[in-house]
Amino acid sequence: MPSRRDLANAIRVLSMDAVQQANSGHPGAPMGMADIAEVLWRDFLKHNPANPNWADRDRFVLSNGHGSMLLYSLLHLSGYELSLDDLKNFRQLHAKTPGHPEYGYAPGVETTTGPLGQGITNAVGFALAEKVLGAQFNRDGHEIVDHYTYAFLGDGCLMEGISHEACSLAGTLGLGKLVAIYDDNGISIDGDVEGWFTDDTPGRFEAYGWHVVRGVDGHDAEAVKKAIEEARSVTDKPSLICARTVIGFGAPNKQGGHDVHGAPLGGDEIAAAREHLGWNHGPFEVPADIYSEWDAKAKGESAEAEWNKVMDAYRAAYPDLAAEFERRIAGELVEDFDARAQALVEEAQAAMEKVATRKASEKALNGFGPFMPELLGGSADLTGSNNTWWKGCTLMSPSEPGANYISYGVREFGMAAIMNGVALHGGFIPYGGTFLVFSDYARNALRMAAIMKQRSIFVLTHDSIGLGEDGPTHQPVEHVPSLRIIPNMSVWRPCDVTETMAAWRSALSRNDGPTSLALTRQGLAPQERSAEQVANIAKGGYVLSDCDGEPDAIIIATGSEVQIAMDAKAKLSDKNIRVVSMPSTDVFEKQDAAYRESVLPSHVLARVAVEAAHVDYWYKYVGLDGRIVGMSTFGESAPAGQLFEYFDITADAVVAAVEDCLPE
């Protein structure tokens, strides 16, 4: 029978062979962590290669995602649909095995990792979701949610500030089923980390409220097993296992140095490694007895079958809860969602209230929340400003684990990446609030939500100079345009309660990506609409106010500037002016050509866009013959009304722009 070291060596040789064949990659971490991975995956990890989406599987996150061949080797050896040819195709175009783990490319990859620190933060989200979901659905003798989240991480993850945000919160919330294993190999790209990373990492995590297992030899399987058992025995705190490893373990001339971190070993060193490891097999060759020991399919199918028995008993005892659990895990909305959502939009239009769109967002949550228990909200210490708390909210804590609202503290980046982990786990639609200007702090997690096509909803308030006296540090100028250019990010900037309700409906309905809601601090007047216009809000852009006959000019506006556009039209009563409200450009651009042409007829060249944001984005709509009323500088500190006057974002400025682009 193969020894544990033989089984770990299978990871080492597959990793070094794949990196060598690709002539690109990171062999050091997979070779260094192979012994730890063998123990975790074979002795502890609850998973089923035949059903990678089994709801109660343990989640495994490779936060140090540059070591992707470690994960790909584990998936292949365990029996997932990831072939030897897939490993040979490492880092090639359209491969299931890209350079960093990418969610959706290969079965068993739980999240996209690569930007260091986000993987461990996603893992906090997974563990948070498990804790809340379990508290909401488990009943005495019927624990249908009972799994762990395991994460591997390295020095780079710990140096990134997001790891502080997330791990601090994980300790506070007592996420006892989160086990992180720190690959303490002392090496990063620039060399020995002692020159730039001398933190007392165990002390740091103990200060967070984690259980810490210190000084584990990462190449001693029994020591690793004992450490994991200890971590699993502590149920009221997350655990960090500090495992000392040798990077590139098994490559006799390069192990322990930065040369094995991010470059192929080379043919000579690979030959030396094979000899050193006693691996007498060719490239990508794994003996049958090692495959047999690694194969997790029978064990996984048995584990899932046992869970299915638990689920059957739960279904018999609590049929309504079981149906609700299955709906939420499947990511399906309630059957009558469309009808209820339409009613909320129509009610908002009938009410004709003048409120800030951040307040309109709260109204939306109070409308959707009662029939959407999957909503898991929060804010980065701005709940009262973001209006993310609705009447049915309860605050999650170790003593209230089944609540539906998270106080993330001043942790915008951590919040966004935790939300992505929650979304990936399943069972929830996470939303979280901060000021729009601070989306910069969270931007890479917003980008990751878009890459992974996750339904995370970012509530971004105080959306322009309209927030007033806080000044340019808090007044977003470039932020809405910059969010719009993130592929697969849907961005809504509504102009009143009705558009805000429609924006929430769109965000909740969308199951293939995130949504950013840019919302005002200041009150906005409601707009009159016909039933057809109300329906057309869902198309992202529509004719809010038309004219008799062909328009002489079109004014395009979003958010708080829609009223400015309407005021400008009133001042241009001697001309045929069409006003287009464009709350979501990306949704509008997904409409068919005929609809887009009906809203913005191509022969009307006199166009003016008005938005209290950077002007450059709008050239795609107004062209060289049009004009843009907006911002090209940072803001100032003053009351909102003065700022709109000072920066000349006014009805008179729009009138002048229209007149300027009309032919003589």
Q: Kindly report the CA angle at 52 between 65 and 151, in degrees rounded to 5?
A: 35
Please check if 428 is assigned to a binding site.
Answer: no
Please check if 385 is assigned to a binding site.
Answer: yes
Please check if 219 is assigned to a binding site.
Answer: no
Burial code (b: 16+ CB inside 10 Å, e: under 16) for 287-315 equals eeebeebbebeebbeebbeebeeebeebb
Q: What SS3 state is found at 328? A: helix
Report yes or no: 453 and 513 within 8 Å, Cβ to Cβ: yes
Q: How far, CA to CA in Å, does 26 sit from each of 18, 102, 111, 307, 421?
A: 10, 16, 19, 37, 25
Residue pointed to by tokens 């309504």: 320
Q: Kindly report the CA angle at 545 between 544 and 548, in degrees rounded to 5?
A: 140
Please check if 521 is assigned to a binding site.
Answer: yes
Please check if 462 is assigned to a binding site.
Answer: yes
Please check if 438 is assigned to a binding site.
Answer: yes
Please check if 551 is assigned to a binding site.
Answer: no
Please check if 261 is assigned to a binding site.
Answer: yes
What angle do the packed helices 161-173 and 118-137 form, to 10 degrees? 20
Q: What SS3 state is found at 505? A: helix
Please check if 26 is assigned to a binding site.
Answer: yes
Please check if 155 is assigned to a binding site.
Answer: yes
Find residue 242's DSSP bridge partners: 182
- Rounded CA gap, 631 and 432, in Å? 27
Q: What is the DSSP string of 40-86?
A: IIIII----TT-TT-TTPPEEEESSGGGHHHHHHHHHHHT-S--HHH
Backbone angles phi, psi at 433, to 5 degrees: -115, 150
Please check if 185 is assigned to a binding site.
Answer: yes
Please check if 116 is assigned to a binding site.
Answer: yes
Please check if 214 is assigned to a binding site.
Answer: no
Tell me which of 304, 412, 499, 611 is the catalytic residue.
Answer: 412
Identity of residue 565: A
Please check if 114 is assigned to a binding site.
Answer: yes
Please check if 32 is assigned to a binding site.
Answer: no
Closest by Cα among 150, 138, 202 to 175? 150
- Rounded CA gap, 122 and 120, in Å? 5
Active site residue 222: no
Report yes or no: 244 and 217 within 8 Å, Cβ to Cβ: yes
Q: Which residues are catalytic?
A: 412
Annotated binding site: 26, 66, 114-116, 155-156, 185, 187, 261, 358, 385, 438, 462, 470, 474, 521
Annotated binding site for substrate: 26, 261, 358, 385, 462, 470, 474, 521
Annotated binding site for Mg(2+): 155, 185, 187
